[in-house]
Structure 1
């Protein structure tokens, strides 16, 4: 994907994806550790087609699985990471991106008459994003149709894509009926404290004490909301932090051993091993890849 560096995050530009004045783009990608955390100047709907992993949205970490859908407004930073670099355990994501003008059109003209899209005003708030889990494959069916139409580009495909996107908005509306957006206040605290202590040798008991929970309750919270153990979550957070440090040009002269120590892995050999297990690359290879974007 074409990206432009802005501040400390990559900025993806719609102009690199939209062609012939048509502002919808659909793709399907196997997530790897090649694309850094980024923001974009367009709206994006992401759907987990297959596999599991993590989605880092702003300062939150969300364990994802097949059927998860995310609506990301303009300017929200995010990145998907697979749970493993093993190609047999791939994380496959479908993306539908569109510009602000089209979003305003599809959520203003018809809804004004028929009263749909109660989430529109919420989405217009700065940094607001949504996570929805499909109930019976409804999002997957629509994304398959979106992808097929975009790939085949038969007569009238532009109108068909707008119609399918409109259906997707309606299905989102239905999924949100009677349900509040998930709130993970306790998990937010757990993740915040964990991230503040990444450079330390933090244990489950220490983290539990700092967030005011028993160890069993902490384990249950992590398993319920993240789908993994404390040690797996801690390692994923450390590797994600190391990726950010390796991507940051301000750290270009910092040794890999120093970066390993900064995330709490004092043994460089262990850092090399777990980093490659997670990303499929050595830290040096990852830093070189980032420098070529």
Structure 2
């Protein structure tokens, strides 16, 4: 598994749907986190301050008030100024999100087509902070959190944030419905891209033909289904080449590609650079 090469954080807890809230408070100096990823979702709400947030291979400037999204598996690093203030809520999908809440999650974290950050108004930040505060108070209740209450507050937060997200999207980038085959395909690829590289596997699981799936994907994303699978594999390769101290052979094996020469050819075809050339270039860019 590739998460052994990059530190991976997990969210524990006694609730059916583990959830945690953290406040981003001013510090005496700037703060830069270590590179890591999570098995859970994170919503960052920044009220004031500045800095950058590297989410996968994109460096996002903190322009307050704003909201940043980090999906499970994404590699990120926050480099914030000492006066930065805000909050972050972390949660998993386990334990009973409704179909509608899953659709709201999809609208927020559809990383295949949208940027990982967008600005919000001061009023929207206040509204989000009130809902996150309600979750926080429930989590800290002396008698212990009520899972249904946590889920309820979180559901309203997702509903609000998804609406803000949709409003920030270009008009030609419609949100995907909860049962949209393209959405289901993207979720499956995220889980299974290391083991399954054939479009037919995903089409079979969705009970549609491979041609029909590819046609739906191309119309919605501008890429074929096979390109989506390949792009996901190359994203993981880029993450490992930048952040992990693995040889090219070890990266190849982590991606379940047993022939490093084949990995070199595929990677160069996709990026125009060999894995070694890409690592040199990207580490110079991020000074790693």
TM-score relative to the length of structure 2? 0.49
TM-score relative to the length of structure 1? 0.48
